[in-house]
Structure 1
Amino acid sequence: MARPRTPIGSYGEIHTAQVGSKWRARTRYRFSDGKSRQVERFDVSEAKAKAKLREALKGVEEGRGSELKPSTPLKLLANRFLEEKEGAGRSTGTLTTYRSAVKMHIIPKLGDLSAAEATPAQLQAFLSAVHKQHGHGAAKNCRSVLSGMLGMAVRNGAIPRNPVKELDLITRAGKRGSEAIPLDELPAFIAKVRADEVLVERDMVELVEFMLAVGWRIAEACALEWPSVDLEKGVARMEAIAVRVPKQGVVRQPFGKTSTAWRTTPLPADTLRMLKARKERVGELTPLVFPTPLLRQRDPSNAQRELRERREALGYPELTTHSFRKTVATALDAAGLSPRDIAEYLGHQNPSLTMDVYMSKQSGSRRAADLMQEHLERLR
């Protein structure tokens, strides 16, 4: 009488053998396609090899092929999510953030849960713990990655809805974001920056002046190179951002934070004169417009830290590099520019907090540059 076939989703007898200094545990598992395939694992002892094999067999079905199921463990779903984002060409900084959230938080705490077990209650408790132990940023990154992971599961029919959509938003209690410098205080602020010996020594003064004139992000300004500055036409092209990559250091990433970040910014006349003088000083020494004093690529994080170290002395204890960007937006808004004009000048993806309009135009408004020049003239 023939021996009955092993049921789908189960395995037969586990066989062990010592192979060199390790033990091998091996069996045949019958997959959902009806075929039996050999699965094996190794470890330092026979018992540990068997235990490792049994643990591997729990998720062996989900680890094969492209199909996602309700029983797919979140650790496998997380790796699939990372692979998808890498294939989609996400920025180096974004991928680093995603990997950190997956490896440091999601897999250690949720990795053994299945997609079906990832309920709003489970996820809310996890995010609350991350927020308490590791802060607002870590919790927000984890929420974003979980939303992407479980959204993938929904699209593949593994679960009916994304549970992350039912979670509370991650808020930064008791802390405000960076604020614009009051426009009537700008002359005194610029005077303090120009008189600060530490900022002068670190060659930060003209970087601050540039950001206060054009509203670029710190990573955009740090990556600016002379070929992207047309002194004859009086414009600067945002074509890259500076990012720190693990094991590589600071590199120029040839695309911006958003799809509308790439833009051509008309320069106020004073900013153009400053850049012409700066090019005469350093243009032959480095392609970078705002390098470090040693003419190396400036790290945006270091530039932010250097400013934080001086903000008490400047009299603005909450000052950040993003304050300059908000100051430009405030100045242009006060001058009566439309949200569209401001968005084009700053490279915003959304024209304002109350509008959700995708901005496809890539050249900033000349009127914005002229208005900023009026503000700069009052700082002389």
Structure 2
Amino acid sequence: MSRAPLPIGTWGSISTRIEKTDAKGKAVSYLSKANFRDHDGHVRDVTAFGKTKTAAERRLLQKLQDRARTNTSGELTAMHKINHLLDLWEKRFEGLIADGKRSPTSLDTYRRSLKNHIRPALGELRIGEATTPRLDTVLTKIKTAAGAPTAKTCRAIISGAMKLAVRYGALTVNPVREVDTIEAAPKNPPRALTGEEVSLLRKSLAADDRAVEADLPDLATFMLATGVRIGESLAVLWHQVDLETGAVTITHTIARIKGEGLIRKSTKSKAGERVLHLPNWAIAMLRTRHAAGIRLDNPVFADMIGSYRDPSNTRRALRTALSPVGNTARRDLGTTLRTLRRQAGLSREQVANTLAWPKTRIELAETGRIKVDHQLVTELLTAYRITLDDHPDLVTQVDQATQPADSDKLAWIRSHALRKTTATALDQAGHTARQIADQLGQAKVSITQDIYLHRQAANPAAAQALEHAFDDPDLL
């Protein structure tokens, strides 16, 4: 009766012999060998050397265990480097993008994390070396160096890659599963504009020539009226606007993809495809734009040549417009600072390098779009080899420029604040979280509640309900 074959992925007994001796006949090298039945059904010899019998057998056992993790296709094993696994994960993600199941902008974000954090920390390790303690240590270091949001992104990428390794048979369990959850308080808790701030915002944008030139007043109005993302706003075409029924259809968003440029792509999820009804003040704004002449296949908020606008450039224009212009004294001080810089023969880039500042900070100071104080002005003047105390007139000008202005109240606003404002207004009007999530185009209500809604005061009807429930005087 023939002997039963070894099960696939297992090995037979280990034999060890002396492989090499020294001049005195003492063993200095041992060879351990075992038969291993590979996943293709073939039985092959696996060997390992060691200075002692125990070392040789231990090394062979490790090789056998690693070989047992080989997947059926032979594409991935525990001995492959993690860089190889990450390459496979990227290709799979590209396939999901081609199928319309993932966003190309997500891959751009993931590739930055791969390049800057994951590959430098893990790329040269073997897949079998990606233990839970090692991954936990790496993610903790990323959180410390780059912050919790980046660490969360890296954790998701590594988990996805290790899940792929399990599916290919290179690992038996996903080591990221037991890694400590990355938690951190939100950098900017949900904040919506008050009614007073909305009025101030619209007036400020309408009075700012640069904001009007960038078409920001109408864009801000549209975003407040709908709660859509800035990319979704820029993707709306005129044929998607029905001025008779007062509705707009949201189906796409604008994104810049590396190597492709600006593209109009479908929304993040099916929940993003929605029809929204507009308030009368938004319809009036769109009627005015429509009366100026349009083409149905053009964007509602187009650039100077009627094409799509870049969301990043539009956000930058909005940030610039909302930077505190302040009063005339602040703008006059900015002009003075620019004149002194030029008299010193310095460019903005040179000053920025000297002070280790972003170059944009110099520009904002010189255009009166940043709140200034004596310290900021003193540092600038030092770069120009000027002492502030030696110029009384300049001291007076700085004192006047540091006075608060109404526009300072708008400096915190970013494009997403308009979205949160719309969500909060609907919440205060009694709409359910599900209704608000549908308006915002979000599949998960929890995201709407956690990120976009202000926490409301405790239920005012609770006291009355408890009053009736426990009004028995014997309870007192």
In the superposition, the TM-score normalised over structure 2's length comes to: 0.57
Higher helix share: 2
SS in 2 for 1:116: helix
Quote the Cα distance in structure 1 between the aligned partners of 2:192 and 2:448.
19
Kept in 1: contact 2:78–2:171 (CA 8 A): yes
SS in 2 for 1:88: helix
**Shift in Å, 1:322:** 0.5
Quote the Cα distance in structure 2 between the aligned partners of 1:204 and 1:66.
56
**Shift in Å, 1:194:** 1.9
- Cα distance change on mapping 1:167 and 1:310 into 2, 3 Å: farther
Q: Does 1:176 align with 2:188?
A: yes
Q: Does 1:80 align with 2:88?
A: yes
Identify the residue that residue 322 of structure 1 maps to in structure 2.
416
Q: Does 1:272 align with 2:278?
A: no
Q: Does 1:309 align with 2:320?
A: yes
Residue by residue, what CA displacement relative to the aligned partner does 1:265-320 show, whole Å, maximum 9, x if unpaired? Answer: 11112211211211232514970111124433211111111222232324222211
Identify the residue that residue 346 of structure 1 maps to in structure 2.
440
Quote the Cα distance in structure 2 between the aligned partners of 1:178 and 1:300.
22
Identify the residue that residue 159 of structure 2 maps to in structure 1.
147
Q: Does 1:209 align with 2:241?
A: no
**Shift in Å, 1:338:** 0.9
Letter in 2 for 1:305: R
- Cα distance change on mapping 1:295 and 1:169 into 2, 3 Å: farther
SS in 1 for 2:410: coil
Identify the residue that residue 334 of structure 1 maps to in structure 2.
428
Letter in 1 for 2:205: V
Identify the residue that residue 162 of structure 1 maps to in structure 2.
174
Identify the residue that residue 240 of structure 1 maps to in structure 2.
252
Question: Out of 265, 276, 281, which is 2:292 matched to?
Answer: 281
Identify the residue that residue 218 of structure 1 maps to in structure 2.
230
Q: Once the two structures are aligned, what percentage of the paired residues are identical?
A: 35
Kept in 1: contact 2:238–2:296 (CA 8 A): no
Question: Out of 285, 306, 310, which is 1:295 matched to?
Answer: 306
Quote the Cα distance in structure 1 between the aligned partners of 2:121 and 2:433.
43
**Shift in Å, 1:218:** 0.8
Question: Out of 108, 122, 136, which is 1:124 matched to?
Answer: 136
- Please, what is the CA RMSD of the aligned residues? 3.2
Of the structure 1 ranges 314-323 and 330-339, higher mean CA displacement relative to structure 2 is found in 314-323
Q: Which runs of 5+ in 2 are unaligned?
A: 1-10, 12-37, 45-65, 325-406, 451-476
Kept in 1: contact 2:71–2:170 (CA 8 A): no
Identify the residue that residue 185 of structure 1 maps to in structure 2.
197
Residue by residue, what CA displacement relative to the aligned partner does 1:346-376 show, whole Å, maximum 9, x if unpaired? Answer: 11111245989xxxxxxxxxxxxxxxxxxxx
Kept in 2: contact 1:286–1:295 (CA 8 A): no
Quote the Cα distance in structure 2 between the aligned partners of 1:319 and 1:261.
24
Question: Out of 94, 106, 125, which is 1:113 matched to?
Answer: 125
Quote the Cα distance in structure 2 between the aligned partners of 1:339 and 1:76.
43
Q: Does 1:258 align with 2:269?
A: yes
Q: Does 1:69 align with 2:77?
A: yes
SS in 1 for 2:269: coil
- Cα distance change on mapping 1:226 and 1:174 into 2, 3 Å: closer
Kept in 2: contact 1:223–1:241 (CA 8 A): yes
**Shift in Å, 1:222:** 1.2
The runs of 4+ residues in structure 1 deviating greater than 6 Å are: 61-64
Kept in 2: contact 1:74–1:115 (CA 8 A): yes
- Cα distance change on mapping 1:152 and 1:259 into 2, 3 Å: farther
- Cα distance change on mapping 1:339 and 1:32 into 2, 3 Å: closer
**Shift in Å, 1:212:** 0.7
In the superposition, the TM-score normalised over structure 1's length comes to: 0.71
Kept in 2: contact 1:178–1:318 (CA 8 A): no
Quote the Cα distance in structure 2 between the aligned partners of 1:281 and 1:122.
62
Quote the Cα distance in structure 2 between the aligned partners of 1:71 and 1:242.
42
Letter in 1 for 2:415: T
SS in 1 for 2:79: coil
Quote the Cα distance in structure 1 between the aligned partners of 2:305 and 2:122.
46
